[in-house]
Amino acid sequence: MNKEQPIGIFDSGLGGLSVYKELKRLLPQEKFVDFGDTARVPYGNKSSEVIRRYAFEIAYFLAQKRIKLLVVACNTASSIALNELENAFRFPVVGVVQSAAMEVGKLEKISRIGIIGTSRTIKSATYQNLIKSRLSHVEILAKPCPLFVPIIEEGLFESRVLDETMDFYLNDMRKRKIEVLILGCTHYPLIEKKIMDYFNEKVKLINPGFSAALRVKTILGENNLLNDTEGYDEFFLSDEQENFQKIARDFLGFDIPEVCIIKENLI
């Protein structure tokens, strides 16, 4: 392993760009290889077995790119497949879920935490178990919110549809005065401000993409693998994505130079 090798990132779709954004901000000297599984998106309502198979296919693909570390940017895949990926590959594997749980575990004087994510992420209870193992006294309110992703992809940031959906999903958490809310899906940072408004600013939001970026920096530093020459990033998708540049801009605030579409089966 040497410091010039790239960092691999994957997500079920384009949501991983919100994680890439945090990594790029914290580690501008690194080279990234980003994979979005747009041909099979979303993972959130699929079985653990199928999610595991997809995660392995992509990890093999990225391993061939000689990555020095893998970031599982998908909350669902992190919840389901992280241990197996760690056991299979020699490079370190960083999951957004595990990183966010570590960050939350360090918070003090917290009594009530909310978690939102896909059905599979919430049902796996990975977030809940990891947090409970660190903060046993804390009360956890976990809620699958499958409508947020399609609403964000429709671009309905300012709409009665989003307002009603937020109220439907988050009303109980607001009433019960959660102090921390984990945005357990890569799309959710795009409605961060709306969520803050909904809670009248009275909640601390955790963006697992940021937690993962911190974790990656620590691991690379400890292993003397931080790069020092700026890199050229690569982007792969398993299918074309309509309005890709527009969506990328929504996520990143800047354009992506070029995207390579891998349409054949991955292995």
Q: How far is the CB of 160 from its own copies (least distance, A)?
A: 5
Q: How far is the CB of 57 from its own copies (least distance, A)?
A: 10
Q: How far is the CB of 199 from its own copies (least distance, A)?
A: 19
- Nearest of 215, 89, 243, 94 to residue 155 by alpha carbon: 243
Residue nearer to its own copies on the CB measure, 50 or 88: 50
Q: How far is the CB of 170 from its own copies (least distance, A)?
A: 13
> Which residues of this protein are in contact with its own copies, per CB under 8 A?
38-40, 45-47, 49-50, 53, 119, 123, 146-147, 150-151, 153-154, 156, 159-161, 164-165, 167-168, 239-242, 263, 265
Residue nearer to its own copies on the CB measure, 151 or 213: 151
Residue nearer to its own copies on the CB measure, 168 or 254: 168
Selecting among 23, 27, 74, 97, the annotated active-site residue is: 74
Residue nearer to its own copies on the CB measure, 5 or 38: 38
Secondary structure of the chain as H, E, C letters: CCCCCCEEEEECCCCHHHHHHHHHHHCCCCCEEEEECCCCCCCCCCCHHHHHHHHHHHHHHHHCCCCCEEEECCHHHHHHHHHHHHHHCCCCEEEHHHHHHHHHHCCCCCCEEEEEECHHHHHHCHHHHHHHHHCCCCEEEEEECCCHHHHHHCCCCCCHHHHHHHHHHHHHHHHCCCCEEEEECCCHHHHHHHHHHHCCCCCEEECHHHHHHHHHHHHHHHCCCCCCCCCCCEEEECCCCCCHHHHHHHHHCCCCCCCEECCCCCC
Q: How far is the CB of 43 from its own copies (least distance, A)?
A: 10
Asked if the peptide bond before residue 257 counts as cis, ω within 30 degrees of 0, the response is no
Selecting among 58, 80, 113, 185, the annotated active-site residue is: 185
The Cα 71–Cα 131 span in angstroms is 20
Residue nearer to its own copies on the CB measure, 188 or 210: 188
Residue nearer to its own copies on the CB measure, 100 or 248: 248
Q: How far is the CB of 37 from its own copies (least distance, A)?
A: 10
Longest dimension (CA), the chain: 51
C-alpha distances out from residue 46 to 41, 123, 201, 227, 266, Å: 10, 11, 34, 37, 18
74 carries an active-site annotation: yes
The residues annotated with a catalytic role in the active site are 74, 185
